[in-house]
Amino acid sequence: MTEQDFAVPLEAPRYYEPDPSYRERSWIGDYRAAYQKYLEDPGEFWRTRAAEIEWFEPFDRIMDWDFPYAKWFLSGKLNITHNCLDRHVRDGRANKVAVFWRGEEGEEKVYTYSQLLRAVCRFANALKKIGVRKGDRVCIYMPVVPEQIVAMLACARIGAVHSVVFGGFGVGALNQRIRDSGSKVVVTADVSMRRGKAIQLKSIVEEAVVNAPSVEAVVVLRRDRPKVELHSEMELDFDELMENEPAVCEPEVMDAEDPLFLLYTSGTTGTPKGIIHTCGGYAVGTQYTTKYVLDLKEDDVYWCTADPGWITGHSYVVYGPLLNGSTVFVTETTPDYPDPGIWWKIIQNYGITVFYTAPTAIRMFMRVGEQWSDRYDLSSLRILASVGEPLNPEAFEWFYRHIGKDRCPIVDTWWQTETGMHMITTMVGEPMRPGFAGRPIPGVVVDVVDRDGNPVEPGNGGYLVLLEPWPAMLRTVYKNDERYRKYWTTINRVYTATDLAVKGHDGNIMVIGRADDLIIVAGHNIGTAEVESALVSHDAVAEAAVIGIPDPVKGNQIKAFVILIEGHAGSDRLKADLRYHVRMTVGPIAMPSEIEFVDSLPKTRSGKIMRRVLRAKELGMDLGDVSTLED
Ligand code: PRX
């Protein structure tokens, strides 16, 4: 995408005004006043936020900035699980539900705060027993089950660095992530459930740990009956391992700047980036935003539909809500199984009050029609939220009317794996402008600039940048500090999000999309290079180029252009074979929906594929500047 790819909206802005009671009862109160207060004294602002969590030892400085490296809450000591669990159990939430889980067939599991704490301690002790120490990496490759959350928190309890890999990734992607992180243990399950079918996760892990010499043990949650066999000595049973462990495990005392987790996100090269988040800043950032942006209150029953395998799941299924002592609903359920009414049935039956989902899901529901949501009582809902890609005005309006019943504010949150926490939104109680994510939250300073870093005039497009460090920011890219520095050096010493945006005359920001070779498909970031390298690893493929083309539901879909090796003929069968190959290598989310066999690809003189040209041709657009085009 380039700056010219979008039209600046010219029509007079239309706002949706929430009922004044929302602002009166919100944690944020008056957004403008809160933002002003931050600007007047940023240090004091973050000191107050940091005081909302408990520290074993107080920090002695708020922040050190040594461009482009920030350290937050220096010398402060804490453990995020003490803040997520112990303090709530101590302070009267012991019997409050922490996690409601629902499986695809309606089966349920419930964990109160005290039960969750005990489970986490048991698994933490089990990890210790098999040799996991502070600083070791543990890969978690699981379906959305409560044990996934237990495993994450158990790592954090003992200071091990978790690297959660989304359960929809294939062998190649998993192997790459295990190897890059040097994970000592992999925690998995035998199967994950999808639309009534069991997907064999364990067999994917078996293949992915070949060639991954760092792995000493694979812990398997056995859900299926009869239980799958554990093959090698390396494989251990999740439940048995926990069973005999004590339900008490003292939290490791972590420095604010110790790593908490790493999470891989797709990059523009074939290698994903291991984004590093740290204990102190991440805890403060997610506690703050969950409370003030999602506006969670003591009695809320909160549902975020993200998988904990992505950053949204880390920050707003697991850490943020638990830091706030909230009740979280999680489910393995897909939105259309057994029918497209299932999510609305869940909202009715569990009395969900705050509902956080993605535009791709909203558009899917729009397409099947409101007759599905109309069957259920959605009156428990108080706040709606969205993340992952632009929430287009049509989807905003449908969500507002048919789910929120013209009553619930929609909080469209813009942020990234790298930012760790919300950055831009329309705070609860503020007027909402469809198509625009909103304004920076207090604590965040943003702008829209040209390539040289000069602010663009309101109404014009440019690059979205962040001007000040924030506590939950990534600290580096694992084993690739140069890549980290690039975030801050591409444009004039500010953080470049690599998103294109327009700043409206009213100060609201509209996020348009990526400015690089990432494609967002159904809210998931896919690197073109990752798919291309999967394609060329197939015997029949000489070269491949991948582009995103617009899709009314998924936002984008993937189209691949493939040059075959001499002697191979393009056929439908080969197309199916290539799609399967990508599915197995990268995962189902990266499968091209269309494949075209071609004889050549447009390249620059230096041999770089010009995806922009392929895309323009595909969509019948102006080719733009092609002076560097060789072929
Ligand atoms: O392009 C933006 C888009 O998703 C990218 C970040 O993807 P990821 O790191 O996978 O994190 C997704 C969940 C935070 C951004 O660079 N994006 C995310 N939220 C929005 C968005 N685009 C527009 N509006 C949003 N609310």
> How many CB atoms within 10 Å of residue 174?
26
- Measuring from atom 2 of ligand 1, which residue has the nearest CA? 389
Residue 73 lies in a domain: no
The pick from 389, 426, 519 for probing ligand 1's pocket by mutation, whose C-beta has the most ligand atoms within 8 angstroms, reads 389
CA–CA separation, 18 and 429 (whole Å): 6
Burial (Cβ within 10 Å: 0-12, 13-18, ≥19) of residue 232: exposed
Report the separation in Å between the CA atom of 358 and the middle of ligand 1, taken as the mean of its atom positions: 10
Q: Which domain holds residue 130?
A: 80-262
What is the share, in percent, of the chain residues with pLDDT greater than 90?
85
Average pLDDT over residues 375-396: 96
pLDDT digits (tens, 9 = 90+) for 154-163: 999 999 999 9
Average pLDDT over residues 107-122: 98
**Do 121 and 180 fall into the same domain?**
yes
Using CA atoms, how far residue 326 sits from 5, 100, 251, 382, 397, in Å, is 42, 11, 21, 15, 28
Number of separate domains in the chain: 3
Q: Which of 495, 513, 531 is the last residue of a domain?
A: 513
**Do 254 and 294 fall into the same domain?**
no
**Do 416 and 288 fall into the same domain?**
yes
**Do 103 and 209 fall into the same domain?**
yes
Q: Which residue has the tokens 């964990």?
A: 111
Average pLDDT over residues 131-139: 98
Does residue 4 surpass a pLDDT of 50?
A: no
Which residues make Cβ contacts (< 8 Å) with residue 307, sequence separation at least 6? Answer: 144, 166, 167, 168, 313
Quick one: pLDDT band at residue 627, thresholds 50, 70, 90?
low
What is the structure's pLDDT at 9? 53
Distance of CA 516 to the CA centre of its chain: 18
Residue 629 lies in a domain: no
Residue 95 lies in a domain: yes
Contact 282, 472 (CB under 8 A): yes
What is the structure's pLDDT at 13? 81
**Do 493 and 443 fall into the same domain?**
yes
What is the structure's pLDDT at 538? 94
Q: Report the range of poorest mean pLDDT among 107-116, 161-170, 241-250, 529-538.
A: 529-538
**Do 577 and 436 fall into the same domain?**
no
Smallest Cα–Cα separation from 549: which of 5, 4, 3?
Answer: 5
Does residue 628 surpass a pLDDT of 90?
A: no
Residue 467 lies in a domain: yes
Q: Which of 493, 513, 533 is the last residue of a domain?
A: 513
**Do 196 and 113 fall into the same domain?**
yes
Q: Which of 262, 295, 327 is the last residue of a domain?
A: 262
Residue 468 lies in a domain: yes
Report strand pairing: 217-221 vs 235-237.
Answer: parallel
Report the separation in Å between the CA atom of 14 and the middle of ligand 1, taken as the mean of its atom positions: 24
What is the share, in percent, of the chain residues with pLDDT greater than 70?
97
Does residue 454 surpass a pLDDT of 50?
A: yes
**Do 361 and 307 fall into the same domain?**
yes
Q: Annotate 232-282 with DSSP letters as a single string.
A: STTEEEHHHHHHTS-S--PPP-EETTSEEEEEEE--SSSSPEEEEEEHHHH
The token pair at 168 is 């929809």
Residue 7 lies in a domain: no
Report the separation in Å between the CA atom of 504 and the middle of ligand 1, taken as the mean of its atom positions: 19
Does residue 604 surpass a pLDDT of 90?
A: no
Average pLDDT over residues 340-357: 98
Burial (Cβ within 10 Å: 0-12, 13-18, ≥19) of residue 107: exposed
**Do 250 and 201 fall into the same domain?**
yes
Indicate which CATH number applies to the domain containing 605.
Answer: 3.30.300.30
Instruction: Report which ligand 1 atom has the smallest distance to the Cα of 310.
Output: 10
Which residues make Cβ contacts (< 8 Å) with residue 263, sequence separation at least 6? Answer: 163, 164, 274, 275, 277, 310, 311, 314, 417
**Do 357 and 404 fall into the same domain?**
yes
Residue 624 lies in a domain: no
Average pLDDT over residues 416-432: 98
Single-letter residue type at 584: M
Of 296 and 586, the structure prediction assigns the larger pLDDT to 296
What's the whole-model pTM score? 0.93
What is the structure's pLDDT at 5? 45
**Do 308 and 257 fall into the same domain?**
no
- Measuring from atom 15 of ligand 1, which residue has the nearest CA? 416
Residues with CB under 6 A from ligand 1: 265, 311-312, 387-390, 412-417, 437, 497, 499, 511, 514, 520, 525
- Measuring from atom 22 of ligand 1, which residue has the nearest CA? 389
**Do 336 and 209 fall into the same domain?**
no
What is the structure's pLDDT at 252? 98
pLDDT digits (tens, 9 = 90+) for 349-365: 999 999 999 999 999 99
Burial (Cβ within 10 Å: 0-12, 13-18, ≥19) of residue 406: exposed
Indicate which CATH number applies to the domain containing 160.
Answer: 3.40.50.12780
Residue 192 lies in a domain: yes
